């Protein structure tokens, strides 16, 4: 079954509670939270205090995507705030095992993310010890960008690797996902679709309907 993870980066932060309520009553699986530091990516979003507030508003799985550098000193904050999954980027990380064991210490699922230009071989040594791999289908930093279809082959390659090694991991895609690009990703092997603009930016707030259309 394909899972859907609305990215609240595209939500109306002035009405966060009612936005979360709409998502809560929908058939989505995760709530994707994009953490940006203005350093690892050229944009700033929000931090653990907002995650803590969101935690109080929902029982959905909080899927926290860290686009920050460094990662290690902040894991405790995000764990304490109520994250269920913490995903970090492999780029520029020289000791990913340390980050993974720190996340696992809090009994939280661990994900590793790859920017579009990052090859799959960069996670070959750690793929057996993570729960999720996130393939970015846009350059991280901003919502509302166009899907990069040259990432489809990476999703296929990852799916093959998962089958070859009989791994029990999720394949998540993030960036420019809509009804059409989502289907392409599912066909290639993805089972978690992150979508921000497609779900939140529509007239009449038809979030639940948009979420169903992605499966």
Residues with catalytic roles = 34, 174
Q: Is 65 in the site for Zn ion (CB under 5 A)?
A: yes
To Zn ion, the closest distance from the beta carbon of 152 in angstroms equals 18
User: Do the Cβ atoms of 116 and 150 come closer than 8 Å?
Assistant: yes
Number of residues that bind Zn ion (CB under 5 A): 3
| Residue 6 site contact among Zn ion, ligand DX5, none (CB < 5 to 8 Å, cut-off depends on kind) | none
Residue nearest to ligand DX5 (CB): 196
| Residue 175 site contact among ligand DX5, Zn ion, none (CB < 5 to 8 Å, cut-off depends on kind) | ligand DX5
Of 65, 61, 67, 79, give the one whose Cα is nearest residue 4.
61
Nearer to ligand DX5, 140 or 189 (CB): 140
As a whole number of angstroms, the distance between CA 158 and CA 76 comes to: 29
Residue range at the interface with Zn ion (CB under 5 A); choices 61-69, 71-79, 104-112, 121-129 = 61-69
Nearer to ligand DX5, 167 or 183 (CB): 183
As a whole number of angstroms, the distance between CA 89 and CA 67 comes to: 7
As a whole number of angstroms, the distance between CA 60 and CA 3 comes to: 12
The angle subtended at Cα 64 by Cα 28 and Cα 150, nearest 5°, is: 80
How far CA 66 is from CA of 84, 136, 150, 207, in Å, comes to: 13, 12, 23, 24
| Residue 182 site contact among Zn ion, ligand DX5, none (CB < 5 to 8 Å, cut-off depends on kind) | none
Nearer to Zn ion, 131 or 174 (CB): 174
């Amino acid at each position: 079954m394909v899972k859907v993870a609305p990215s609240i980066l595209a939500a109306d932060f002035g009405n966060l509670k009612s936005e979360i309520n709409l998502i809560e009553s929908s058939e989505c699986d995760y709530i994707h939270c994009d953490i940006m530091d203005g350093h690892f990516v050229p944009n700033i979003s929000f931090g653990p205090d907002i995650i803590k507030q969101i935690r109080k508003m929902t029982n959905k799985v909080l899927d926290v995507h860290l686009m920050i550098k460094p990662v290690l000193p902040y894991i405790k904050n995000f764990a304490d705030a109520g994250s269920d999954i913490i995903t970090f980027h492999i780029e520029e990380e020289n000791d990913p095992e340390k980050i993974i064991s720190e996340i696992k210490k809090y009994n939280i699922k661990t994900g590793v993310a790859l920017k579009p230009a990052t090859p799959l071989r960069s996670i070959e040594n750690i793929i057996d010890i993570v729960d999720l791999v996130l393939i970015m289908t846009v350059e991280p930093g901003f919502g509302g960008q166009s899907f990069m279809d040259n990432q489809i082959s990476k999703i296929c390659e990852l799916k093959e690797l998962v089958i070859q090694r009989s791994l029990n991991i999720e394949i998540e895609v993030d960036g420019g996902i809509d009804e059409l690009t989502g289907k392409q990703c599912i066909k290639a092997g993805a089972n978690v679709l992150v979508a921000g603009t497609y779900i939140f930016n529509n007239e009449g707030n038809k979030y639940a309907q948009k979420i169903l259309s992605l499966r």
